[in-house]
Structure 1
């Protein structure tokens, strides 16, 4: 099952083959958390999930362990498990780190990529473009991540790749807000930005790759900040 193909359970869950329960529960819950259908701070109860998915608590517990490892759920000091909160106070630091990784990985990929790397990057870009056309937000989040990780891999620095993967995974719910700000109808110009980055990479133009990475990161950061600010003002007006 792919990240984009699994949707939330409605009514009775379908029959799941023996041994596939952990992956099934994990993907359903992960997608609901990323899509913010399970809001930050929402309680997670093993017994309720066991009833919902008609499974024993063992696969439920294993799925929750995977989600915890990705930082999507947290266990409080009183042993209550909740959907992890989004730390908006650290958003500036997150954006700084993300922008830096866009730049570093783009520069290294321009200088170190192979033909096989370019083929992989193009394949992920095709998947991203298709997801944008179909307005499939989970697929957009997944394929955008895969595209940028493929660029990082082309740079030949495992430590940067691992750090970038962690940042992209932690930022999935933030990216969900980005797409939501466009009503999940992402303008094609942002697909073209990826194409421009690929062209600079193929040309081994390190400085142009850097410039495009900065521009790409900046527009994402501006859009998210603008959306969060507008949403906060709207929420405040409702309480007046």
Structure 2
């Protein structure tokens, strides 16, 4: 394959990967939906090879599941594991925010504040995909300020895994006006980090997780009350 051919294939792979990832995260492709390589190749006007590579990459990010019969589906949202997910998210969120309050620099504060402005702009546009992306970038700016790449990598994985649930969270809050879209909590977390108030940062990070948890549980009760019983995860008090 010549250089132009490789470039075209790389662009095709990038287009398929980014489009499918956005559609999965925004729930335009529903959990459990079959992803047929031939149909996708026809849709994107390319061969099956870059489609297959895009699906393999998405599988590595837990966005799709490649089944033994060689078919691929959008990864289901396993509601039964939600309590364990929230426990892990709470620990990661609190630890990264605590560390940011302890080790942040002025440059870190500027980066966190910039990501918060990006989130506020996404909220004003009402675009849930932009909102979830900006939310992740805000929290990863906090993680970067904490100077622990291992905790930051763990946190990023959890944030990615929770983005589809966050879309449901946004939808619920916008429809019911029962709660708020995280913006005020982000501002309070930034101020605690600015003040180097580790204990306050921990309390706010824990409350941030709890607010997401409660809204998601309310959404599931409203929409799937007859389908499942969702255990409510514990609510341990933050450490000082």
With the shorter chain as reference, the TM-score category is 0.7 to 0.9
Count of residue pairs the alignment pairs up: 221
SS of equivalent residue, structure 1 residue 27: helix
Within-5 A mapping of 1:191-210: 191-210=183-202
Task: List runs of 5+ in structure 2 lacking aligned partners.
Answer: 1-6, 229-240
1:141-167 CA-to-partner distances (Å, cap 9, x unmatched) read 000001101101111111100000000
Work out the CA distance in 2 between the residues paired with 1:128 and 1:184.
19
Instruction: Please state whether the residue corresponding to 2:225 is helix, strand or coil.
Output: helix
Asked if 2 retains the 8 angstrom alpha-carbon contact of 1:33 and 1:72, the reply is yes
Shift in CA distance, 184/69, structure 1 to aligned 2, threshold 3 Å: farther
Return 5+ residue gaps in structure 1 as ranges.
Answer: 1-15
Distance in 2 separating the partners of 1:72 and 1:116: 33
Distance in structure 1 (CA, Å) of the matches to 2:184 and 2:104:
20
1:218 matched to 2:205: no
> Per the alignment, in what secondary structure is the counterpart of residue 46 of structure 2?
coil
Equivalent residue, structure 2, for 1:36: 27
Q: CA RMSD in A?
A: 2.0
Aligned counterpart, 1:169: 160
Q: So what's the TM-score if we normalise by structure 2?
A: 0.87
Match of 2:64 among 59, 73, 76: 73
The residue aligned with 1:122 is 113
Deviation at 1:183, TM superposition (A): 3.4
Alignment of 1:1-240 (within 5 A): 19-183=10-174, 190-233=182-225
CA distance in 1, matches of 2:147, 2:26: 32
SS of the residue 1:130 aligns to: helix
